[in-house]
Amino acid sequence: MPMPSEPLPLFPPGFLWGAAASAFQTEGAPDADGKGPSGWDAFAAAGRIKDGADAARGTGFHERYREDVALLAGLGADVFRFSVSWPRVVPGGRGPVNTRGLDFYDRLVDELCAHGVAPAPTLYHWDTPLPLEEAGGWMRRDTAERFAEYAAAVAGRLADRVPLWMTLNEPAEVTLLGYALGEHAPGRRLLFDALPAAHHQLLAHGLAAQALRAAGAAQVGIAVSHSPVRAAGDGEEDRFAAGLYDTLTNHLFSDPLLTGAYPDEDIAALMPGPVADDLAVIAQPLDFYGVNYYHPMLVGAPVPEDAGALGSFAGVGMPEGLPFSLREVDAAERTDFGWPVVPDGLREVLVGLRERHGRRLPPVVVTENGCSYGGTDDQRRIAFLDAHLRALHRAVAEGVDVRGYLTWSLTDNIEWAEGAAQRFGLVHIDYETLARTPKASYRWYRDAIARQKGRPAG
């Protein structure tokens, strides 16, 4: 990918710039301030993190958050998207609130505000309290109801200083990787029987949105992953497979949120509970719609396993017997994760959402977009960010109401089941010492933000 030779075009006044992170990937301190275990803690303890990285230590954010807030201030960031650890606040998933756990987020929010960085917490970034997970997790309706109680407790403490809230992060990944394919916590392999996990997460979002607003939350949104899905061929079987995959990974989540209906009657019939009543709760008005984008997907008809074309979802191999197969996307550049670099896919996603949902689509914030590359002179990350921001600008020029961009991520972190080997950060983490070293991409992003705001770079 060519290196940028010209400054980025200017985004609209008031456009928000920032970075993102999550609790499990960064906080560490599993025994501090009364935190309980999560499903991901149990998954890690079972040896399911591939490189054996110490998720219990993370990046030391719990103790070193002031360093990271200073790094955000040095970027000129407007917003920091972090996540609140549900088991740090409600260790048992139900019952008493752990005030010491909430105290940590109180301190973090105060520190961000003192540095002029708006706090934007995500209430659920995959770390379900272990007692709830062991009772069935997102396969049970009770988990959604407990989530709403937790949301009310967090907002009751923080809503006076937090302008942006997100309920859930990437319910598609939780459903597919955690409950359908078994490669993420809780490690269940239910395939299509995992659909109730999607419904209960969506219900949790709706109930939490109600609880947040009742507690005085200013703006409420959600962070949903989206990928353009392209058919591997022009034949009817390939087009059907791609359409089904598109429905399961994109429209299964955006349609209930934005239209109050599932995209397919057959799928709706598989969902548990009073579905019509639940959909009325799920479709709470949103102040913004968060989009996480990484790369497109190429999908075709199913093939025999030995044909070598089953592909992967987020690096996870797909089992035989599914009604589709994933193929390699043709791309000149790939990240260290092996993901294809296709910047215009971001524009394609945003324009597609606008075309599908029209006025029902609220203002959009890109809540995640980033790449895994090693080294501190990370010129390929600079080229990635530059190309994706140019694609984002084209979407704005085409009429999509985009209000902000948050890159993933501020620092290197524990990349879930992949461990510490995949480095997504603008800031390098030495996992022996936990020392922070800003990379070349940090300085590039800092200068790009300064130019957008009319300030001198450097």
- Is residue 368 among the annotated active site residues? yes
- Cα separations (Å) of 304 from 182, 261, 310, 397? 21, 35, 8, 44
Q: According to DSSP H, which parts of 221-376 are helical?
A: 236-246, 252-259, 265-270, 275-282, 344-357
Alpha-carbon gap, residue 310 to 127, rounded angstroms: 29
169 in a known ligand binding site: yes
Alpha-carbon gap, residue 14 to 78, rounded angstroms: 10
Alpha-carbon gap, residue 153 to 52, rounded angstroms: 34
> Other C-beta atoms within 10 Å of 69: how many?
23
Catalytic one of 133, 170, 173, 183: 170
280: closest CA among 252, 257, 264, 251?
257
Tokens encoding 196: 């109730």
126 in a known ligand binding site: no
Catalytic one of 133, 173, 348, 368: 368
Alpha-carbon gap, residue 260 to 276, rounded angstroms: 9
- Is residue 170 among the annotated active site residues? yes
| Per-residue 3-state assignment (H helix, E strand, C coil) for 124-148 | ECCCCEHHHHHCCHHHCHHHHHHHH
Q: Is 454 exposed, middle or buried (0-12, 13-18, 19+ CB in 10 A)?
A: exposed
How far is CA 29 from its chain centroid? Answer: 22
Q: What is the DSSP string of 345-373?
A: HHHHHHHHHHHHHGGGS--EEEEE-----
At what angle are helices 275-282 and 252-259 packed, to 10 degrees? 80
**Is 69 in contact with 118 (CB distance < 8 Å)?**
no
Alpha-carbon gap, residue 39 to 170, rounded angstroms: 16
Alpha-carbon gap, residue 200 to 197, rounded angstroms: 5
Residues present in the chain in total: 458
> Other C-beta atoms within 10 Å of 14: how many?
8
25 in a known ligand binding site: yes
**Is 216 in contact with 206 (CB distance < 8 Å)?**
no
98 in a known ligand binding site: no
- What residues are paired with 366 via a beta bridge? 291, 405
Alpha-carbon gap, residue 78 to 74, rounded angstroms: 11
339 in a known ligand binding site: no
- Binding-site residue ranges for substrate: 25, 125, 169, 294, 408, 415-416
Hey, which residues are catalytic here?
Answer: 170, 368
